[in-house]
Amino acid sequence: MISKNIIIKSTLHKKPISADLRYISSNEKKPLILFVHGFKGFKDWGVFNLLSEAYARKGFIFMKINLSHNGTTPEQPVDFVDLEAFGNNNFTIELNDLKDAIDYVFSENFEVDKAELDREAIHLMGHSRGGGLVLLKANEDERIKKVITLAAISDLTTRYPEEVLEAWRKNGVQYIDNARTGQRMPLYVQLYHDVMENVDRLSIPKAVEEMKQPLLNFHGTADETLPVAMARQIKSIKPDTSLVIFEDANHVFGATHPWEKNELPELFKQVVEKSSDFLSE
């Protein structure tokens, strides 16, 4: 199995977009899946490397990215060591990071031999907020052929109660506790301003209604972060969505970080099987 680490330059700012990819060389053109992590996530979280290997064995090129302002660095890709970057992140930055990653895949600099990549089969996959991002980006980019979401958020623009907004605007920052690391992670009010200035572009319901690509959406009924009603909302807007509901599954489908086992949780195995079939149709 071929494994490569990559640094992608941003066209919007100076922070790098870290990435890695895995595939099995066969001198046959393979589809590519570009994976986007969620809020307080990163590309090497929990089971994501095992997930990458599983898709590689299925005949895909699997590429994961660390969004530039997720709080990690290329030197410390699994630790939130740059909280200023985290606090200054917003959805416009993340969508631009995703565009830069897609452009890189289509560029002459892409570190996969042309004989190995099928440029007519570039797909997006995202978890949680990353699921919302791939829905938005697919609607903007016709080069993307299919989309897979895992416990995706269905709306980015209406999740701020007025009492939170009042304090946020007054103080300029709010803090989010990270239960795993014990860190208090800042979110500067510029995030809210970015949402308000780009409501139309950041409307996931609008993007889902307009997007032309086939969509496969996984969600769990016991999701403690984003309720399964969000998946059903997406299905109601885009009726041809292939919706897979996992009974009693949480937001990460039974995975944890760190993940000490050398195989995927059962639900992730099902994700790989069902999504491989979906992408091969």
CA–CA dist 159, 39 (Å, integer): 14
Tell me if 73 sits within 8 A of 81, measured CB to CB. yes
CA–CA dist 55, 68 (Å, integer): 24
Query: How many beta carbons lie within 10 A of that of residue 15, not counting itself?
Result: 20
Give the per-residue pLDDT at 194.
96
Distances (CA, A) of 78 to 45, 181, 209: 7, 11, 35
Give CATH for domain 2-155+203-280: 3.40.50.1820
Give the per-residue pLDDT at 192.
94
**pTM assigned to the model:** 0.97
Alpha-helical segments (H) within 161-265: 162-171, 190-197, 204-210, 229-237
Give the per-residue pLDDT at 157.
82
Tell me if 136 sits within 8 A of 95, measured CB to CB. yes
Q: Could you tell me where the beta strands, DSSP code E, fall in the chain?
A: 2-8, 17-23, 30-36, 61-66, 117-127, 144-150, 173-177, 184-188, 215-220, 242-246
**Which residue, among 110, 112, 135, has the nearest Cα to 36 in the 3D structure?**
135
Tokens of 17: 């977009």
Give the per-residue pLDDT at 223.
98
Give the per-residue pLDDT at 171.
96
Give the per-residue pLDDT at 70.
98
**Domain positions in the chain:** 2-155+203-280
Report residues of the chain scoring pLDDT below 70: none
CA–CA dist 64, 188 (Å, integer): 26
Output the CA torsion 202→179→36→12 (10° steps): 60
Q: Say whether 130 sits in a helix, a strand or coil.
A: helix
C-alpha of 194 from chain center? 19
CA–CA dist 13, 162 (Å, integer): 31
Give the per-residue pLDDT at 162.
87
pLDDT, one tens digit per residue, over 117-168 is: 999 999 999 999 999 999 999 999 999 999 999 999 999 887 778 888 999 9
